[in-house]
């Protein structure tokens, strides 16, 4: 198997986002959870593989080491180009990790120049004259200036990058991007000859990102959000294998369907309410009871066994802000989260053993706990049910499984019912 492009994402949900972008561009795409090794098996015939790391907020030297290992793994599977996916709001601190990781990937590849563009126009992230906008505000005027881990108080990308790397950074402005692929390539060469190592490019639309993607096709290291990845994906000529493989995507419509929710985000709470209002069977897990030793897992499985096998079921630990605060006050925040993740991971394994073949998981951390419990390390990315929320396909010891991993605030309010009352694959 030979990959055409490899990607390293600096967080779990960013990995899903960028994998969905490659899939939209027509590439048959795998998503790998966590650092891969020799025992990690990719689905056959993939054009792209995304390794989702947790390197956004770790110390820079750890982020560098993990990213270099992922780059070597992707190279060994044929990827000539490696895309470094970070957040469309450039979440990072003056110490890293975007600059140090990009520099390390470039050094390892022998690259002298990298192109950056965090624009994500469908989400209102645009870059103009090197400044990052969130809808109609500069990044530094948006809510991101109060982010708990990476407060963003500057919007000038060349300046932000320059603080994270000893090398020079410069801009390719929108006027050049509008002139097209050749103009951008010429500008890259001119910057390269002037000793510039990091090039930030403006982009206001998906068309701009398509131009940048085509211009960046030969660069060994490119960096940005999902938009530029999709632009690059479109620039790769489609292979017959990808087309045939996309048609042959598995569609396990047999077997039972379930949602496991551990996200307490507002959108997930709405999705739970909508599922309940639709008259579908749902069960709330009593986290405090589980902590005092009651067999909440056994009770949930007994409840599951009584449900109509033709209907999807929802089992959730998700709680309102008041309920969450009460549980956290009793157990502590970390202990409460660990209990819930353990509970939902265990339930996921039992449900798959009992015939669930379509499983929707709500919550970023929760998704990590469930994939770990199921021993799922790599999935094939399928069609999106909502933007950034694709079906994925995994092979488990109990057979094929369609898995949808949703970050808390993603998806329309009716996602749970819509995704699970149609069969996987009908969502396209
Ligand atoms: P999101 O994507 O919305 O941030 P996550 O799954 O990443 O969702 O995070 C939600 C966290 O809340 C998880 O660590 C989960 O274990 C925890 N959690 C969920 N339900 C409860 C609950 N009832 N009590 C305490 N913690 C909970």
Which pLDDT tens digit goes with each residue over 280-334?
Answer: 999 999 999 999 999 999 999 999 999 999 999 999 999 999 999 999 999 999 9
Q: What is the CATH number of the domain that holds 213?
A: 3.40.50.10840
User: Do 60 and 182 sit in the same domain of this protein?
Assistant: yes
Residue 422: pLDDT above 70? no
Task: Provide the pLDDT confidence category of residue 240 given band limits of 50, 70 and 90.
Answer: low
329 Cα–ligand 1 center, Å? 14
pTM for the predicted model, two decimal places: 0.92
User: Do 311 and 184 sit in the same domain of this protein?
Assistant: no
User: Do 274 and 227 sit in the same domain of this protein?
Assistant: no
Nearest to 97, CA basis, from 76, 67, 73: 67
Radius of gyration, alpha carbons of the chain: 22
User: Do 173 and 285 sit in the same domain of this protein?
Assistant: no
Assigned domain for 250 exists? no
| 47-51, 356-360, 374-378, 420-424, range with the lowest pLDDT | 420-424
Residue 272: pLDDT above 80? yes
Task: Provide the pLDDT confidence category of residue 241 given band limits of 50, 70 and 90.
Answer: low
User: Do 200 and 312 sit in the same domain of this protein?
Assistant: no
Backbone angles phi, psi at 4, to 5 degrees: -95, -35
User: Do 22 and 112 sit in the same domain of this protein?
Assistant: yes
Phi-psi region of 255 (alpha: psi -120 to 50; beta: other; left: phi over 0): left
Contacts of 341 (CB under 8 A, 6+ apart): 262, 365, 366, 368, 369
| Residue 231: per-residue pLDDT | 97
| 83-97, 141-155, 231-245, range with the lowest pLDDT | 231-245
User: Do 286 and 265 sit in the same domain of this protein?
Assistant: yes
| Residue 250: per-residue pLDDT | 63
Mean pLDDT of the chain: 93
User: Do 195 and 294 sit in the same domain of this protein?
Assistant: no
- Ligand 1: lining residues by beta carbon, under 6 Å: 262-265, 268, 287, 317-319, 324, 327-328, 336-337, 340-341, 363-366, 407-408
Percent of the chain with pLDDT over 90: 83
Task: Provide the pLDDT confidence category of residue 113 given band limits of 50, 70 and 90.
Answer: very high
Of 245, 278, 306, the one marking the end of a domain is 245
User: Do 276 and 325 sit in the same domain of this protein?
Assistant: yes
Assigned domain for 251 exists? no
| Span 373-419, pLDDT tens digits | 999 999 999 999 998 899 999 988 888 899 999 988 889 999 999 99
Q: Return the best residue to mutate from 269, 271, 292, 317 for the ligand 1 pocket (most ligand atoms within 8 A of CB).
A: 317
Of 214, 245, 276, the one marking the end of a domain is 245
| 153-157, 167-171, 175-179, 234-238, range with the lowest pLDDT | 234-238
Q: What is the CATH number of the domain that holds 403?
A: 3.40.980.20
CA angle 91, 227, 59 (to 5 degrees): 25
**Structural domain of residue 200, as residue ranges?**
5-245
User: Do 306 and 214 sit in the same domain of this protein?
Assistant: no
Q: Return the best residue to mutate from 54, 148, 328, 336 for the ligand 1 pocket (most ligand atoms within 8 A of CB).
A: 336
Residue 427: pLDDT above 90? no
Total domains in the chain come to 2
| 163-177, 181-195, 197-211, 241-255, range with the lowest pLDDT | 241-255
Calculated CA dihedral for residues 281, 284, 290, 295, nearest 10 degrees: -20
Task: Provide the pLDDT confidence category of residue 197 given band limits of 50, 70 and 90.
Answer: very high
Of 245, 273, 290, the one marking the end of a domain is 245
| Ligand 1 atom closest to 316 (CA) | 20
User: Do 229 and 336 sit in the same domain of this protein?
Assistant: no
Higher pLDDT, 288 or 251: 288
User: Do 236 and 363 sit in the same domain of this protein?
Assistant: no
| Ligand 1 atom closest to 344 (CA) | 16
147 Cα–ligand 1 center, Å? 19
């Amino acid at each position: 198997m030979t990959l055409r492009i490899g990607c390293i994402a600096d967080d779990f949900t960013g990995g899903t986002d960028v994998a969905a972008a490659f899939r939209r561009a027509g590439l048959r795409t795998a998503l790998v959870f966590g650092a891969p090794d020799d025992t990690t098996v990719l689905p056959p015939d993939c054009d792209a593989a995304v390794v989702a790391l947790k390197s956004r907020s770790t110390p820079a030297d750890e982020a560098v080491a993990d990213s270099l290992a992922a780059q070597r793994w992707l190279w060994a599977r044929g990827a000539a180009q490696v895309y470094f996916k970070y957040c469309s709001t450039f979440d990072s601190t003056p110490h890293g990790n975007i600059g140090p990781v990009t520099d390390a990937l470039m050094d390892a590849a022998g690259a002298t120049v990298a192109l950056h563009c965090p624009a994500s126009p469908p989400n209102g992230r645009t870059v103009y004259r090197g400044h990052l906008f969130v809808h109609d505000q500069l990044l530094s005027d948006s809510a991101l200036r109060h982010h708990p881990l990476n407060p963003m108080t500057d919007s000038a990308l060349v300046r932000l990058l320059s603080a994270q790397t000893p090398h020079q950074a410069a801009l390719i402005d929108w006027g050049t991007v509008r002139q097209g692929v050749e103009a951008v390539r010429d500008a890259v060469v001119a910057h390269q000859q002037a000793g510039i190592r990091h090039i930030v490019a403006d982009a206001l639309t998906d068309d701009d990102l398509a131009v940048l993607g085509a211009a960046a096709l030969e660069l060994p290291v490119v960096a940005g959000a999902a938009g530029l990845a999709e632009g690059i994906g479109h620039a790769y000529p489609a292979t017959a294998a990808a087309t045939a493989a996309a048609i042959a995507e598995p569609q396990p419509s047999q077997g039972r369907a379930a949602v496991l929710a551990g996200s307490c985000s507002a959108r997930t709470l709405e999705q739970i309410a909508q599922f309940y209002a639709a008259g579908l069977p749902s069960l709330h897990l009593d986290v405090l009871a589980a902590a005092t030793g009651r067999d909440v897992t056994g009770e949930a499985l007994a409840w599951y066994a009584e449900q109509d096998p033709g209907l999807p079921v929802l089992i959730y630990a998700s709680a309102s802000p008041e309920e969450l605060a009460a549980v956290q006050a009793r157990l502590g925040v970390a202990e409460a989260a660990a209990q819930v993740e353990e509970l939902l991971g265990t339930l996921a394994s039992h449900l798959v053993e009992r015939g669930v073949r379509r499983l929707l998981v709500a919550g970023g951390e929760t998704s990590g706990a469930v994939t770990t419990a199921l021993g799922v390390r790599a999935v094939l990315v399928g069609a999106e049910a909502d933007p950034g929320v694709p079906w994925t396909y995994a092979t488990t010891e109990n057979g094929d499984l369609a898995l949808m991993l949703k970050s808390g605030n993603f998806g329309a309010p009716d996602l749970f019912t819509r995704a699970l009352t149609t069969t996987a694959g009908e969502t396209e």
